[in-house]
A and B are shown apart, each in its own frame.
Chain A
């Protein structure tokens, strides 16, 4: 009962409301800027929290994280540039809807799905932190390997009709992920004596190059992106549409919760998996990739669920699942707060403040979204000659912020050229992105597992979590292969008809 009144008091406490909304706006701004990840957005605000009350400081960081995870979808839909890694799956149908002059609708679906995902994640955080936290501890290197394989298993269904090209793109993605310092022995691989390559190639550089620069190059010389008659208003989904989206949102919630509890993927796996499953369970799977509302709802629900659910292992055991939660852990430690069961006993005001602040931020997200998103749509509908220059400058400015390095800019341009040539040759881009994002996790977990077992591959079958995930991955891959075979056969038969 005391906790209830604490929460009621916090809900009405003016400073927390300001902290939550301020953090949300800052997070959306950072997430929407290409190259500025959620973790960078949080790190930028971290020094300002030093003098704040610990409860408000932690709430501020959590709200920045929520805002950044949502903000990543805005450039994904409007300029084909995922603001954060986990927004990469949103690009597929979000940008397609934008091209059809339905940007307001796509942003509305993304906004509401994000709110639903965040609320679900928060509810799970409040209700299940302790009962479910064992999952985080149960994860071993074998489980991480299987999780990575599960993520890669969707490649077949993202190959755009050519499995050979899809697999080739994925292998090249995995090759890119091997650049840098070897995770086990520490020797350099494919660094060519360049210090900037020692820490590997940032996935965001590959994504920005393949998605955004490729799109800018493809659009060059074409008519304005502005669509005559296209509304700049946000169109929130109707009840009927929400009813149609509930299945894909439920899938997003499930995958988001699962990945939030399991350190490693950072939202990307959940987004791609839920996109794939939403298509599988959809009544209109043929619309996916051509501007499907469900194709926006599923990944957006998933990555926003992850943003809240990922706090479960952090608060329970101090296990940061991603760079962003590592920054939050830094914030906790900076204020002398040690994560774990005692945090709940000794500092309940910090926990309550985090819960209430997150709740305020999630609800405020609707109002803030409705206010700022029309401005974003208006901006991307400006005359093409100026718009292209502004987007290019934004991308290059954002990339530079990663490491203050012109080498990163060069790399992004190289990936832009590669993506452009891939597009012309009919190679799908998404498998390559998956390879880059998951390559390091798959390789390092595989090799760590073998180090633990002395080279015995049976270790993968001794871990029930790994077995379950590998079985699921096999199921996904077989299903995708059969579906592609049937689709190609249907196309051939249709072509043979007189």
Chain B
């Protein structure tokens, strides 16, 4: 089913506004609170967003009658969306593996896996670039800037 982009956006805005308004009800009262209160701005913002969401829905319904849609463009956009989300999945993998594998290994894996995902033509070069990149970032962030990047619980366990 083909869904109008603005119509869908308007519905998403309404959902966000509703959830945010519901969340404002859970904000605790305080004896230190002022006249506006901690929930004051959130409630105003959710009402404004509701209004904007409704406006977007109305505008999209009016515009829908005028402009024809291209199904081919929608298919291309779906493919782009999937690829973009797939790219982000490597970031999620990084977050999950970082505590266990440590900074150096996880960065090397990230660089290597993205090179494969982006269809690098020189496969033999990937491990070299990945390890070299990890070594460079380790030198900059851990050694030069003194950032306390994770060593990796896996290696700590093996070493101890």
Contact = CB atoms under 8 A, between A and B. Distances in A.
A411 B45 CA distance: 22
Contacts of B145: 36, 44, 401
B8 A425 contact: yes
Contact of B91 (A390, A396, A450): A396
Give the secondary structure class of B's interface.
helix
A406 B23 CA distance: 25
Interface centre among B5, B34, B46, B110 (most CB of A within 10 A): B34
A100 interface: no
Interface in A146-167: 164-165, 167
B81 A424 contact: yes
A164 B56 contact: yes
B146 interface: yes
Interface string B79-113: 01101111110111011001100010001001111
A198 to B, nearest CB: 14
Contacts of B38: 182, 184-185, 187, 189
Contacts of B35: 450-451, 455
B30 interface: yes
Contacts of B140: 33
B91 A168 contact: no
A218 interface: yes
A174 B41 CA distance: 9
Interface centre among A217, A389, A397, A400 (most CB of B within 10 A): A389
A216 to B, nearest CB: 6
Contacts of B59: 164
A48 B156 CA distance: 31
B126 to A, nearest CB: 8
Interface centre among B6, B36, B39, B46 (most CB of A within 10 A): B36
Contacts of B149: 397, 400
A175 B118 CA distance: 36
A384 to B, nearest CB: 6
B147 A190 contact: no
A314 B85 CA distance: 46
A400 B137 CA distance: 13
Given A167-B52, A393-B107, A424 B34 contact: no
A384 B118 contact: yes
A172 B42 CA distance: 10
Given A171-B52, A389-B111, A393-B110, A186 B32 contact: yes
A178 B148 contact: no
A416 B84 CA distance: 10
A187 B27 contact: yes
Contacts of A390: 111, 133
A243 B16 CA distance: 48
B9 interface: yes
Nearest to B30: A185
Contacts of A284: none
Contact of B141 (A186, A386, A397): A397
Interface centre among A386, A388, A406 (most CB of B within 10 A): A386
Interface in A164-208: 164-165, 167-168, 171-172, 174-175, 178, 182, 184-190
Interface string B32-54: 11111111111001101100110
B154 interface: no
B16 A172 contact: yes
Contacts of B117: 220, 385
Contacts of B113: 389
B75 interface: no
B110 to A, nearest CB: 5
Contacts of B48: 167, 171
Given A189-B27, A388-B118, A174 B92 contact: no
14 contacts: A167-B52, A175-B42, A184-B33, A187-B28, A189-B38, A385-B120, A388-B87, A393-B107, A396-B94, A397-B147, A406-B95, A424-B77, A425-B8, A426-B6
Interface of A: 33, 36, 44, 164-165, 167-168, 171-172, 174-175, 178, 182, 184-190, 213, 216-218, 220-221, 383-386, 388-390, 392-394, 396-397, 400-401, 404, 406, 409-410, 413, 416-417, 420, 424-427, 443, 446-447, 450-451, 455
Interface of B: 5-6, 8-9, 13, 16, 20, 23-24, 27-30, 32-42, 45-46, 48-49, 52-53, 55-56, 59, 77, 80-81, 83-88, 90-92, 94-95, 98-99, 103, 107, 110-120, 129-130, 133-134, 137, 140-141, 145-149
